[in-house]
Amino acid sequence: MTAQTASMHKTSILDGKAIARDVTDAVAQVSATFAQTHGRQPGLSVVLVGEDPASQVYVRNKGRMAAKCGFASQTHRLSADVAQPELMALVDQLNADPGVDGILVQLPLPPQIGADAVLRAIDPTKDVDGFHPVNAGLLASGDVDTPLLPCTPAGIMHMIRRVHGADLSGLSAVVIGRSTIVGRPIAQLLLAANATVTIAHSRTPDIASVSRAADILVAAVGRPQLVGRDWVKPGATVIDVGINRIEDVNLGTSNLVGDVDFEAVAPIAGAITPVPGGVGPMTIAMLMGNTLKAAEARMR
Ligand code: GUN
């Protein structure tokens, strides 16, 4: 970069809170029409097992946002020592309930519960997390319209479209991380949008140089500030999915940092998401969108 272009460079900070508000405002409008048309509100049921503090915060926020969107939402709280059959019976009950359009079982689940079996028991048409193998399989088959899409990847794509539009032809996308919740599905969505996609992970040699080839870089590994300045191509769009809580035992404080070293990377990125206030708020917004989509599909 010349001195002049460097001074002209302006990084776009992708404001997840504002973009999420646009999404939930639109959901609330359509939800009101839905209620008028069908004589009932879209229904979201959230299941929380145990007392994990982070999960309690997430579930409370989901309930609040559901109310803002005009949904009928319920939270089912089960004790941490609940047995698998009791949880499965609740899922069956929610599957059969015509007023329930979306079912979300908050993760993580306690060790005595087989999480995969529980997630597979959810009716795929009510699977607003998009974690059921039927939805994951449709997405892996290249169908982005039929399935309920996992919320964080769907939210990331919404932000990427703001920067690059819907067609990512000619752009190189690198996803760091291969989780079933973020890494794999975001790679599928980027591919469906015509990006040239690479999935890098803990066994990838020279991951920094792989990362540096990306026009669009998605970091989803859960390693605080892993992505430094030399991992990023100047002008790249950098999406930080990490939410790492760093405790300072001496100061008795804790703060959230992403998988990207924001201070180091922001000056050279074209666009970047902050942590907090980036991808996080988008996840809940897309959950609301999925609930509405599930409700409308049920009424057809
Ligand atoms: N725990 C942390 N994030 C999520 C999420 O998006 N869905 C569920 N079900 N559990 C979570």
Q: What is the pLDDT of residues 33-88, one digit of tens each?
A: 999 999 999 999 999 999 999 999 999 999 999 999 999 999 999 999 999 999 99
| 129 is an active site residue | yes
Whether 139 contacts 110, CB under 8 Å: no
Residue 107 Cα to ligand 1 middle (Å): 5
Angle, CA 255 vertex, CA 254 and CA 260 arms, to 5° = 140
Average pLDDT of the segment spanning 232-240: 98
Q: Is 62 a known active-site residue?
A: yes
Q: Rounded to whole angstroms, how far apart are CA atoms 143 and 54?
A: 33
Cα 104 to ligand 1 centre (Å)? 8
Instruction: Provide the pLDDT confidence category of residue 5 given band limits of 50, 70 and 90.
Output: low
pTM (2 decimals)? Answer: 0.95
pLDDT in tens, 111-160: 999 999 999 999 999 999 999 999 999 999 999 999 999 999 999 999 99
Alpha-helical regions (H) of 39-76: 53-68
Q: Establish whether 97 is a catalytic residue.
A: no
Give 196-199 contacts, CB < 8 A, sequence gap 24+.
Answer: 196/170, 196/171, 196/172, 197/173, 198/172, 198/173, 198/174, 199/174, 199/175
CA 281 / ligand 1 centre spacing (Å): 13
What are the φ/ψ torsions at residue 48 (nearest 5 degrees)?
-120, 120
Q: How many CB atoms lie within 10 A of CB 70?
A: 19
Task: Check 41, 106, 188, 225 and give the catalytic one.
Answer: 106
Question: How do residues 187-211 score in pLDDT, each as one tens digit?
Answer: 999 999 999 999 999 999 999 999 9
User: To test the ligand 1 pocket, which listed residue (45, 107, 179, 290) has its Cβ within 8 A of the most ligand atoms?
Assistant: 107
